[in-house]
Amino acid sequence: MEYLPNILFVLILVAGIGFFSKNVKRLSRNIKLGREADVSDNGPQRWKNMVRIALGQNKMGVRPVAAFLHVIVYVGFIIINIEVLEIVLDGILGTHRLFAPLGGLYDFLIGSFEVLAALVIAAVVIFWLRRNIIRLRRFTKPEMEGWPKKDGNLILYIELVLMILFLTMNGADYQLQQLGTTHYVQAGSFPVSQFLAPFFDGLSEEGLIAVERTAWWLHIVGILFFLNYLYYSKHLHILLAFPNTYYGSLRPKGQFRNLDAVTREVRLMMDPSADPFAAPAENAPLPEKFGASDVMDLSWVQLLNAYTCTECGRCTSECPANRTGKKLSPRKIMMDTRDRLEEVGRNLEANKGTFVTDDKQLLDHYITREELWACTSCNACVEACPVSIDPLSIIMDMRQYLVMEQSAAPSDLNNMMGNIENNGAPWPFNQMDRLNWVQES
Amino acid sequence: MALQPDGPVELGTGVLNNEHNDMGSDLKVPTMAEMFAAGQRPEVLFWVGCAGSFDDRAKKITKAFVKILNKAKVSFAVLGTEESCTGDPAKRAGNEFLFQMQAVTNIEVMNAYEIKKVVTACPHCFNTIKNEYPGLGGQYEVVHHTQFLKQLLDEGKISMEGGKFKGKRITYHDPCYLGRANQVYEAPRELIQKLDAELIEMRDCRKRGLCCGAGGAQMFKEPEKGDKDVNVERTEQALETKPEIIAAGCPFCNTMMTDGVKNKERETSVAVMDIAELIAGAEDL
């Protein structure tokens, strides 16, 4: 009987972590549905980017208020995780405040966790106000209606509850320490939770123990719940921001990928010794599809991008098309990609690992042509993303599919391309007139 | 926003009062073919681009730049009738095939002339040749004309005295394919400041510069349905700075901003000019 809580704790811990690893596997399987991408180059630069952009959050500062609040929550969660380590060990071993022998350092740590927890509560409240009362424009765009909005708020509620539980646990603990209750070692400093004393007024020792234990259990169970909520929410960025910034593009933003499959075709066309009537080799692979009409046509980095997106909307608020009322929203491109990828993943699970066509695809069923053609390729969305997501590359891949597989460009663009083909300029001018400007007055 | 062959109507602001001097025949514009035939190699190829060759407004920019090159006695040549579209609009429209056909053809021509360095007044040509040609066999040092002009100035090959633009309020519009795409933010600004002009930044500038609306092949099609056109939004930002001149470094941005200024009926008080035109104007070329 004595070890019942320990056993219960270990069971909950194993279940929580086990379920989470199951979702990590699902996540990794879905991401691997993407095409290959060579990202093995420039290791040192990639590590540097990860440290600067993900760990150092150096792209958040563009919006100072959000950056300040975000850094509080970010630091708060990372630092408070040291405390979670102690809680987990206490739970397994049946100890209480295992790290207490650290003495002065322990006091300092617990004290700083408390201050951070209070700051996190303040930041979370302001975040909530920004989403629900101030209603910042980027949080109220059409793609945020329904689940995305709820999801954003739920995350704030969970964070708020976790912090309140943490402080309640400490507050009750502090009272018990003062009463000299056995098991409650005199350790830690409680700069915030000591002020919770009035709430515990009139509670018996047993009552205090009940409050402390309840808060302690709910806090750790809450953390495990939050860990498992990540996969179902937009909040995966707290983990995926790191690999995503590592694998982010290192090229100048204006450099779009040259398609190797096309290069091979063009070389063949330019090769005077190539036989234009040659039949393809007996077991030649099927020609590669140009561009993307579904998530499997995108690269795995683009799919990782989709899972990393936390729907902050910086991309959309900088997008010239969106700012002038067009349907295109780079954030929606990422949300659609993820939604479709999840749908494909569920399809795989329902059909024992093989994808059974559902007569749907990313193009048209999620992302419309109108959105794709509204893009000016200005890279504002790519620049704005604090975690190196590239919505533009998905737009361009889908345009390639429309033009090269479907011949479905807007007619104005067909005229432009016809002109380039015929006379080497996007307008109908003769190439032989290219130097006429020298003679014109 | 499809550009008509006769191009946009020219601005009549009188800020750049060099039309009287605009005798095309004064320009010395050697072609690569001529130079090669004479056994000469220019230091740099001036890639004129389609807009610079055919668009009436952009041709003025081309000429202004050539005047400066002539004045500074820069050894340059153009490809002339051997130049063809870089393929940029085709690529951004999704036609990778057409892009690579154009690229491979242009690269063959440039490699045949053993070209090492390219300067262009078009950020789209600049970006494409600089970033997308190397993978297809075209390795050149590529500079935008504002970088090139900055270098001429630093080397003392051009001077910008005379104070024609002294104290004028100039705002600079960052072309996406020069700024965000290739991190060139300072060269054009330093040139404006050298004019003794007052450089005023728009709300969204440098990394956060708002697009003019022409990129990604939008120049050649009607915009999608929305509340307003992108160029009008950007022009409003520019007009907020109460400028006398909106400076640009891209022929397409120039067209879009010019149209935006007309849309706001401010064409009599606000000029849209390329950096090369400002410098040629300051030098009274």
Question: Which chain A residues are closer than 8 Å to B228 by Cβ?
Answer: 324-325
Interface of A with B in 368-427 (CB under 8 A): 370, 373-380, 382-384, 396, 398-404, 409-410, 412-413, 415-417, 420-421, 424-427
The verdict on residue B107 lying in a domain is yes
Distance CA B10, CA A428 (A): 21
**Mean pLDDT of all residues belonging to chain A:** 94
Mean pLDDT across A3-11: 92
For residue range A405-431, list pLDDT tens digits in order.
999 999 999 999 999 999 999 999 999
Distance CA A89, CA A83 (A): 10
Give the DSSP H or E segment for B198: strand B198-200
Q: Helix axis angle, A391-400 relative to A300-308, nearest 10°?
A: 140
Q: Which residues contact A357 (CB under 8 A, 6 or more apart)?
A: none
Reference A47, options A242, A240, A239; nearest CA is A242
Coil, helix or strand at residue B200 = strand
Token pair of A310 as six digits? 């936390």
For residue range A93-140, list pLDDT tens digits in order.
999 999 999 989 999 999 999 999 999 999 999 999 999 999 999 999
Nearest Cβ partner for B5 among A269, A427, A431? A427
ipTM exceeding 0.85, yes/no:
yes
Question: Which chain B residues are closer than 8 Å to A438 by Cβ?
Answer: 24, 27, 29
For chain A, give percent helix, strand, coil, nearest 5.
65, 0, 30
Residue B182 to residue A375, Cβ atoms within 8 A: no
Reference B104, options B140, B141, B137; nearest CA is B137
Q: Kindly identify which residue of chain A lies nearest to residue B126, measuring between CA atoms.
A: A254
Which residue, among B25, B47, B53, would best test binding to A if mutated, counting the most A CBs under 10 Å from its CB?
B53
B127, B153, B179: which is the final residue of a domain? B153
Which residue, among A392, A423, A434, A441, would best test binding to B if mutated, counting the most B CBs under 10 Å from its CB?
A434
Coil, helix or strand at residue B245 = strand
Residue A254 to residue B101, Cβ atoms within 8 A: no
Q: Which residues contact A196 (CB under 8 A, 6 or more apart)?
A: A167, A168, A171
The verdict on residue B13 lying in a domain is no
Name the band, by pLDDT with cuts 50, 70 and 90, for residue A3.
Answer: confident
The percentage of chain A sitting over the pLDDT mark of 70, rounded to a whole number, equals 100
Measure A417 CA to nearest chain B CA, in Å: 6
Reference A219, options A73, A90, A108, A71; nearest CA is A90
Residue B62 to residue A425, Cβ atoms within 8 A: no
Q: Whole-model pTM? A: 0.93
Q: What is the pLDDT of residue B162?
A: 58
Range of the domain at B211: 159-282
- Residues B142 and B166 both lie in one domain: no
Give the DSSP H or E segment for A168: helix A147-179
A vs B, Cβ pairs < 8 A, gives 232
Token pair of B96 as six digits? 């990778």
- Residues B241 and B275 both lie in one domain: yes
- Residues B255 and B168 both lie in one domain: yes
Nearest Cβ partner for B217 among A254, A318, A413? A413
Residue B211 to residue A259, Cβ atoms within 8 A: no
The verdict on residue B5 lying in a domain is no
Question: Are B49 and B177 spatial neighbours (Cβ–Cβ below 8 Å)?
Answer: no
Name the band, by pLDDT with cuts 50, 70 and 90, for residue A171.
Answer: very high
Distance CA A185, CA A172 (A): 13
Distance CA A176, CA A40 (A): 56
Q: Kindly identify which residue of chain A lies nearest to residue B177, measuring between CA atoms.
A: A254
Specify the long-range contacts of residues A282-291, CB closer than 8 Å, at least 24 apart: A287/A261, A288/A261, A289/A401, A289/A405, A290/A259, A290/A261, A290/A262, A290/A400, A290/A401, A290/A404, A290/A405, A290/B96, A291/A397, A291/A398, A291/A399, A291/A400, A291/A401, A291/A402, A291/A403, A291/A404, A291/A405, A291/B94
Question: Are A232 and A148 spatial neighbours (Cβ–Cβ below 8 Å)?
Answer: no
Nearest Cβ partner for B27 among A251, A428, A438? A438
Distance CA A72, CA B4 (A): 55
Distance CA B84, CA B49 (A): 8
Token pair of A279 as six digits? 């039949």
10 Å Cβ neighbour count for A428? 13
Nearest Cβ partner for B81 among A399, A434, A440? A434
- Residues B138 and B241 both lie in one domain: no
Residue listed under structure tokens 């063809």 = B84
Q: What is the pLDDT of residue B63?
A: 97
Does residue A350 come out as left (phi exceeding 0), alpha (psi in the -120 to 50 range) or beta?
alpha
Measure B83 CA to nearest chain A CA, in Å: 8
10 Å Cβ neighbour count for A134? 11
Q: Is the dihedral of CA B19, B25, B28, B31 positive or negative?
A: positive
Give me the amino acid identity at A275. Answer: D
B96, B124, B153: which is the final residue of a domain? B153
- Residues B119 and B217 both lie in one domain: no
Question: Which chain A residues are closer than 8 Å to B220 by Cβ?
Answer: 412-413, 415-416, 426
Which residue, among A288, A432, A435, A436, would best test binding to B if mutated, counting the most B CBs under 10 Å from its CB?
A435
For residue range A65-95, list pLDDT tens digits in order.
999 999 999 998 888 888 899 999 999 999 9
The verdict on residue B233 lying in a domain is yes
Distance CA B121, CA B249 (A): 7
Token pair of B155 as six digits? 């080397």
From residue B206, how far is each of A166, A202, B52, B185, B202 by CA, in Å? 44, 62, 24, 6, 9
Q: Is the dihedral of CA A56, A59, A64, A65 positive or negative?
A: negative
DSSP B225: S
Q: What is the pLDDT of residue A78?
A: 85
Token pair of A75 as six digits? 């630091």
Q: What is the pLDDT of residue A81?
A: 82
- Residues B76 and B168 both lie in one domain: no
The verdict on residue B226 lying in a domain is yes
The verdict on residue B55 lying in a domain is yes
For residue range A287-301, list pLDDT tens digits in order.
789 999 999 999 999
For residue range A23-45, list pLDDT tens digits in order.
999 999 999 999 999 899 999 99
DSSP A140: S
- Looking at the structure of chain B, the number of domains it has is 2
Question: Which chain B residues are closer than 8 Å to A288 by Cβ?
Answer: none
The verdict on residue B8 lying in a domain is no
Q: Can you say how many angstroms the Cα of residue B257 is from the centroid of all Cα atoms in its chain?
A: 13
- Residues B148 and B169 both lie in one domain: no
- Residues B85 and B108 both lie in one domain: yes
B106, B135, B153: which is the final residue of a domain? B153
For residue range B199-212, list pLDDT tens digits in order.
999 999 999 999 99
Q: What is the pLDDT along chain B (285 residues), one digit of tens a residue?
A: 444 444 443 433 444 444 444 444 589 999 999 999 999 999 999 999 999 999 999 999 999 999 999 999 999 999 999 999 999 999 999 999 999 999 999 999 999 999 999 999 999 999 999 999 999 999 999 999 999 999 999 999 998 765 789 899 999 999 999 999 999 999 999 999 999 999 999 999 999 999 999 999 999 999 999 999 999 999 999 999 999 999 999 999 999 999 999 999 999 999 999 999 999 988 777
- Residues B40 and B95 both lie in one domain: yes
* β-strand partners of B245: B170, B271
- Residues B148 and B26 both lie in one domain: yes
Nearest Cβ partner for A438 among B3, B29, B181? B29
CA end-to-end span of chain A, whole Å? 101
The verdict on residue B183 lying in a domain is yes
For residue range A210-256, list pLDDT tens digits in order.
999 999 999 999 999 999 999 999 999 999 999 999 999 999 999 99
Q: Kindly identify which residue of chain B lies nearest to residue A382, measuring between CA atoms.
A: B180
Q: What is the pLDDT of residue A365?
A: 97
10 Å Cβ neighbour count for A24? 13
Give the DSSP H or E segment for A395: helix A391-400
Q: Kindly identify which residue of chain A lies nearest to residue B128, measuring between CA atoms.
A: A255
Phi/psi of residue B78, each to 5°?
A: -115, 165
From residue A281, how far is each of A273, A274, A278, A285 by CA, in Å? 17, 14, 9, 9
- Residues B135 and B188 both lie in one domain: no
Distance CA A253, CA A382 (A): 8
- Residues B261 and B211 both lie in one domain: yes
Which residue, among A400, A417, A419, A431, would best test binding to B if mutated, counting the most B CBs under 10 Å from its CB?
A417
Residue B24 to residue A403, Cβ atoms within 8 A: no
From residue A312, how far is each of A306, A308, A382, B70 by CA, in Å? 13, 11, 13, 51
Q: Is the dihedral of CA A292, A293, A296, A298 positive or negative?
A: positive
Reference A388, options A136, A125, A59, A118; nearest CA is A59
Nearest Cβ partner for B83 among A384, A398, A434? A434
From residue A358, how far is each of A35, A337, A347, A365 by CA, in Å? 20, 16, 8, 11
Q: Kindly identify which residue of chain A lies nearest to residue B174, measuring between CA atoms.
A: A378
Mean pLDDT across A159-165: 96
Residue B211 to residue A378, Cβ atoms within 8 A: yes
Mean pLDDT across A347-353: 95
Residue A374 to residue B180, Cβ atoms within 8 A: no
Alpha-helix runs per DSSP H in chain B: 32-37, 49-54, 56-71, 88-93, 96-112, 123-127, 145-154, 186-194, 230-240, 251-263, 275-282
Query: Does position A276 have pLDDT exceeding 80, yes or no?
Result: no
Q: What number of CA atoms fall less than 13 Å from residue A165's CA on the CB side?
A: 19
Coil, helix or strand at residue A369 = helix
- Give the CATH number, domain containing residue B275: 3.40.50
